Structure 1
């Protein structure tokens, strides 16, 4: 059973969704009927990482017919993530009818209340999640409590709630910092070894492009800098489509290169690619991007929105000489506060570096220092945008970015919040990007200034 589950997961991550579905269907056919609800729940959990969320939605819907309270709550969370709030509300009510004190169902109901503007009621509900609840419920409830207290202007209590949320996660901190440091060493090597001659050669080398040159850009920056907002604005243009924080480059290019060479220096490994090998990587990566595009149909311009690739941006140039780079910058103090406040659970290596403000500052500096080195070599293929300018003067910023992309301006970009309501947004800011643009997040760090401590000094070298 475990082998088939893993096979289905891998096929889904490789974007062979039909084959993944066949594997999961076969698994269900050969399994004991009484075990099917558990299997369906596992399939739903695993397939949430797929770009295509159809498999996860179908598995959740089938499993929910068996009435497990935990499953109903997780299905509600899935629907809430996809902004199907009414469906999520109905699922939560079903769960709470079966068990009125079930922590995870109370948590999802609190989120629904917060998003519906009932912050005080949501806060009261969270008090009913006892300390005896499971760790995921306690962690997520404390983060949710922090978000609500922040909305209510009780910043000291909000900060303490975030600290409470992080307590069970601190055991992972040192290991995660060590692992991330190894990655930073790779990124630093790229920054230290990259030369203008190398960049110019990559641009001039004629990879076999199958007769096509693509209009494509990486939309990057540090996480929580405003990339999701700009993505939704640009995608409101009729000529633009986007992928949303996929693993396409890592799966179809980076890992393939690094797994087939003894060379540990990523820059040297990519630089030594033959034209034929580079062309194969290019073809596979672009095919994956096409499959991952949010909107259906043919579009003139593709965006790979992926802040995590900012730290290795030049490597994309090796297989895509025509690629452009759109990077969003934001006040670093607001960025690291936003990272600190965000609930990343289960914890991954990068979010584990946001457990303290000082750690988040170290992570930010590492990414941005390297990006600034890269940008100096990339010349007119770079367009940098300030988050504050997006908020205060969207017409001018959108004109500048679209002109950089070679596209005419469209008034539709000013209606991005309306046009994005039916799109799947993988980022945790999915709820925010459907609201009218606002300046609430600008200067937010000042509410927590006394808690920043050494983080402020760490950020000085990257403050513009």
Structure 2
């Protein structure tokens, strides 16, 4: 949780509330009811909870008390917003963050540029890229000789596909700090996107030859692997992304992750979901008149983001990007049943009234995060690895529709190995070639063990079919969802270009469909030899032999 200032300002400094007035004339002597803590004491208490104790709920409570005294206090608005976002209350949290950002922007010329930059980074994390861009521009204007300010601006511009402006910002960074590895890497990414492969290769090779920071070196190796791949230097590409994974596995934050977590969950679910549990209640028995949910699942890099963007282009469909709705539902189930993390056991303990309660909880959270419109349209919950939660979906939502994204297992594994993911127990295994294949096999084995036994209607959507016959493929999907075909969905990339996408596919889905991602694995046939024992079954099962 990163709120705005950390230290008490001087009396003649700008007030952290964003008013633009000096602290001594604003919040320093803010009155409070008799016997109640004053504003400054509440701020210090909130900061202590947030930064020393990491107790975001307590910090949020103190910040709310600040807002009771001063409703437009920027730091308090930001503190409440960040606390809500970290607790997955994104829609409400973003409203507070937007108010904080606008309060700062109103007084940008009187606000510390470091505060503006830090808050720009927060807005980028939570997906409000336009406000992030405004804050980053204000920070760069406030600190024209600060390299980090221009880099932050470049990062925002890149995520919004504003390549020329991003390059200009990075050129300013490199004038100030010529050897900055992060800026050279980001500039190489932009050169790559513009098909300037030689320029990107030379830049990244210089970084790889000289950089000593493990995280930056890993990042440079990974990006260089993509350049080598484009230049058909496949052996070098494989060696480079293998080196990137090896370097990342050395990082303390990666070593702290439980690599067995996802395999333990999958084994628990394979053993725990009987046919009776998967079909415990019928829609008629549940009879609660709630909408039928749609889940877009699969494996990472299988086309879920592309599918979500196409569906989002339909006027009768509302889609989510990555979210925590099923994670929250599982926690609510565990609390009701008192069964801890054993989801199948928890489902056995509850009765039909509690099942209805959980279904209502899911849709209440959908409405809170995505607005009442989500209840009027076809709401599609897209999280690729929610495929692990197929059993939970089947038991509580027998009326659900499931779209399962498929792609050649070899292309999936290659794409995962060449992609950077946020560190988590769900991605830590993707940092090695064997780990990618092992996790793919585990997830897909679970799907194969469940798909013929679950209650919801489901459809497997092959990425290759989408590329080769877009309309026929998506007519099947829209038929499953119960909405009419709309030709305008073929122009999904026009909409995606101006839409924030949280996954690593954000650049690809802002372009028209292309077939260059088909059968990318073929030049790496020799390297696939060691993982074919894990993949062969799924190549056959999904028709990719």
CA distance 1:443–1:281, shift in 2 (3 Å): same
SS in 2 for 1:202: coil
- Where relative contact order (Cα < 8 A, 6+ residues apart) is larger, the structure is 1
1:102 equivalent to 2:180? Answer yes
The 5 A counterparts of 1:428-439 are: 428-439=504-515
CA distance 1:272–1:184, shift in 2 (3 Å): same
CA contact (8 A) 1:358 1:452 kept: no
Shift of 1:299: 5.5
Q: 1:400 aligns with which of 447, 471, 476?
A: 476
1:112 equivalent to 2:190? Answer yes
CA distance 1:82–1:308, shift in 2 (3 Å): farther
The 5 A counterparts of 1:51-62 are: 52-53=128-129, 56-57=132-133, 59-62=135-138
Q: Which sections of structure 1, spanning at least 5 residues, go unmatched?
A: none
Could you tell me which residue of structure 2 aligns to residue 377 of structure 1?
A: 453
The 5 A counterparts of 1:12-411 are: 12=85, 13-15=88-90, 16-17=92-93, 20-21=96-97, 36-50=112-126, 52-53=128-129, 56-57=132-133, 59-64=135-140, 65-67=142-144, 68-129=146-207, 131-171=210-250, 179-204=258-283, 206-207=285-286, 209=288, 212-250=289-327, 252-258=328-334, 261-290=338-367, 292-293=369-370, 300-344=377-421, 347-378=423-454, 381-411=457-487
Shift of 1:319: 4.0
CA contact (8 A) 1:294 1:424 kept: no
How many residues are treated as equivalent by the alignment? 457
Shift of 1:279: 4.1
Could you tell me which residue of structure 1 aligns to residue 536 of structure 2?
A: 460
1:10 equivalent to 2:73? Answer no
SS in 2 for 1:127: helix
TM-score by length of 2: 0.75
Cα distance in 2 for residues equivalent to 1:208 and 1:98: 65
CA contact (8 A) 1:82 1:425 kept: no
Cα distance in 1 for residues equivalent to 2:434 and 2:528: 8
Cα distance in 2 for residues equivalent to 1:351 and 1:72: 30
Greater C-alpha radius of gyration: 2
Cα distance in 1 for residues equivalent to 2:117 and 2:198: 33
Shift of 1:294: 11
SS in 1 for 2:461: strand
Task: Single out whichever of 252-261 and 117-126 deviates more from structure 2.
Answer: 252-261
Shift of 1:295: 12
CA contact (8 A) 1:225 1:387 kept: yes
Shift of 1:14: 1.9
Task: Single out whichever of 91-100 and 150-159 deviates more from structure 2.
Answer: 91-100
CA contact (8 A) 1:145 1:161 kept: yes
CA contact (8 A) 2:290 2:360 kept: no
Shift of 1:205: 6.7
Shift of 1:361: 0.7
Shift of 1:234: 1.9
Cα distance in 2 for residues equivalent to 1:53 and 1:255: 30
Task: Output the aligned Cα RMSD.
Answer: 3.4
Q: Which sections of structure 2, spanning at least 5 residues, go unmatched?
A: 1-46, 61-78
CA contact (8 A) 2:97 2:123 kept: no
Cα distance in 2 for residues equivalent to 1:173 and 1:335: 27
Task: Single out whichever of 259-268 and 155-164 deviates more from structure 2.
Answer: 259-268
1:415 equivalent to 2:491? Answer yes
Could you tell me which residue of structure 2 aligns to residue 449 of structure 1?
A: 525
Cα distance in 2 for residues equivalent to 1:259 and 1:133: 47
